[in-house]
Amino acid sequence: NAGVTQTPKFQVLKTGQSMTLQCAQDMNHEYMSWYRQDPGMGLRLIHYSVGAGITDQGEVPNGYNVSRSTTEDFPLRLLSAAPSQTSVYFCASRQTGAFGETQYFGPGTRLLVL
Amino acid sequence: GDSVTQMEGPVTLSEEAFLTINCTYTATGYPSLFWYVQYPGEGLQLLLKATKADDKGSNKGFEATYRKETTSFHLEKGSVQVSDSAVYFCALRGYGGSQGNLIFGKGTKLSVKP
């Protein structure tokens, strides 16, 4: 199992550019989510999905779009990047059901918006 | 809503010192509690967890006990090593406004000196 994979590892964007951060998992997990990590802020939930075709907003969804067409993939789209979106982005997945289920994280994507 | 508060760092210890990182939470009902660790340049990985009151989670010499009466889940290790240098995150999954998503504390950076 590769677990949770993310691409790219690093990206530099100019303000106003768009891009898609890719996330995939091979554990057949129904639940997937995106977090951003900023210094002193911990991890904040952007969007999440409980299955193919179902997505919902987290704590900080503005400026980001998601879709879930397959169980395996959960891309995060920045339609018009802003410097405030400079951050490290983590994708995660887990089984749904019991609240004790372990959540698995990808290695992260470091994004710099100039 | 659900929230997690953990002691602010950074924490600097000498090798073989005793470690405590405090974590308290606010949640409805009986959430599941987790400690995640993030080594430099990597994603988060589960360190230990507890799913009900008085449970003790343990892994790699680290321990934490789910204390319902004090709403706490403090992380402890009797003798830290240089390889334990990382950022530690306390987290919960509850039944309240977080809709079952993981809610993280802000993280505590630990540096262990030889």
pLDDT digits (tens, 9 = 90+) for B69-79: 999 999 999 99
String of DSSP letters for B1-67: --EEEE--S-EEEETT--EEE-EEEE-SS--EEEEEEE-TTS-EEEEEEE-STT-EEEETTEEEE-B
Flag whether pLDDT at B29 surpasses 90: no
Band of residue B100 on the pLDDT scale cut at 50, 70, 90: confident
Q: Which range is least confidently modeled, A43-47, B54-58, B100-104? A: B100-104
Q: Which residues of B touch A3 (CB under 8 A)?
A: none
Among B45, B55, B102, B109, the residue to mutate for chain A (most A Cβ within 10 A): B102
Mean pLDDT for chain A overall: 94
User: What residues contact residue B21 under an 8 Å CB cut-off, 6+ apart?
Assistant: B6, B7, B11, B74, B75, B76, B88, B90, B108, B110
CB–CB of B43 and A90 under 8 A? yes
Q: Which residues of B touch A108 (CB under 8 A)?
A: 42-43
Token duo for residue A63: 């400026």
Q: Which residues pair with A91 in a beta bridge?
A: A34
Chain A residue with minimum CA distance to B36 = A103
CB–CB of A103 and B102 under 8 A? yes
* E strand spans, chain A: 4-7, 10-13, 19-25, 31-38, 42-51, 54-57, 64-66, 76-78, 87-94, 104-105, 109-113
Percent of chain B, pLDDT > 90? 79
Min Cα distance A4 → chain B (Å) is 10
Q: Cα separation of A19 and A37, whole Å?
A: 18
Flag whether pLDDT at A17 surpasses 80: yes
Chain B residue with minimum CA distance to A56 = B99
Min Cα distance B43 → chain A (Å) is 4
pLDDT of residue B9: 86
Percent of chain A, pLDDT > 70? 98
The kind and range of the H/E element at B77 are strand B75-77
pLDDT of residue B99: 67
Q: Which residues pair with B34 in a beta bridge?
A: B49, B91
Flag whether pLDDT at A100 surpasses 80: no
Percent of chain B, pLDDT > 70? 96
